[in-house]
Amino acid sequence: MNLENKVVVISGGASGLGLATARYLVKKKKAKVALLDMNREAGLNAVEELGDENAIFIATDVTEENDVDAAISATIQKFGAIHVDINAAGIVAPKKILDKNGIAGSINNFRNVINVNLVGLYTVMAKCAEKMALNEPDQNGERGVIINVSSGAAWEGQLGQCAYGASKSGVNGINIPAARELGSIGVRVNSIAPGLFATPMVDALDSKVKNALIEMCEAPKRMGNVDEFASACAFLVENGYMNGRYIRLDAATVMQAK
């Protein structure tokens, strides 16, 4: 799918990899973006940067179906269609199964992570797919593309990441059944699992922590550039034969237990 003038919904689009992807797609691919995020100030700043003609921000809690419905409606009202959905909203919230006294913790932490990272992702994906089905197919029969953001924790979750690892494994598990179902209407589904990227959140870490994380990267021995993530998203949109799969974009990193 050619990204020029296509409308891209990005959950978690006001910061980090979501915002970096929005910038890349607008500035280098001439796409339009709808930024779904809970950070109103950051979202409005992003629209000011990208231009009102290219971007819209909608304050959205992906765990609230009514919020997602409102965001989808606002996007359609602004741009008239949805062609691509990139789901980058997520939380980590590490917590061990047993506390230092050997007592099982509250289930609420696990539930919240699953609700945001998996249920919220599915909600946005499904609502976008509904609108993609209404698009006229392009010359290759495509109506839409969905990219769900996973993580290396889907395979090598660290201590305290049971909830996060489970949620990201679930993201990858969506690929094949969703691709099989939505392929009939010309919609492809893939996921991308980023490693360590130079986002503002990572940059704020103590230098010793960052160096320890970089040591886990095999080659190249560095953090990823956010444009490398964004260009991988563009590849998944533009390459019509990529479907039902995941990409590990992590410099061959294998995360250690801690």
Catalytic residues: 164
- Cα separation, 80 vs 83, whole angstroms: 10
Whether the CA torsion 113, 169, 174, 104 is positive or negative: it is negative
- Cα separation, 241 vs 10, whole angstroms: 22
Got the DSSP string for the chain?
---TT-EEEEETTTSHHHHHHHHHHHHHH--EEEEEES-HHHHHHHHHHH-TTTEEEEE--TT-HHHHHHHHHHHHHHHS---EEEE---------SB-TTS-B--THHHHHHHIIIIIIHHHHHHHHHHHHTTSPP-TTS--EEEEEE--THHHHPPTT-HHHHHHHHHHHHHHHHHHHHHGGGTEEEEEEEE-SB--HHHHTS-HHHHHHHHHT--SS-SPBPHHHHHHHHHHHHH-TT--S-EEEESTT------
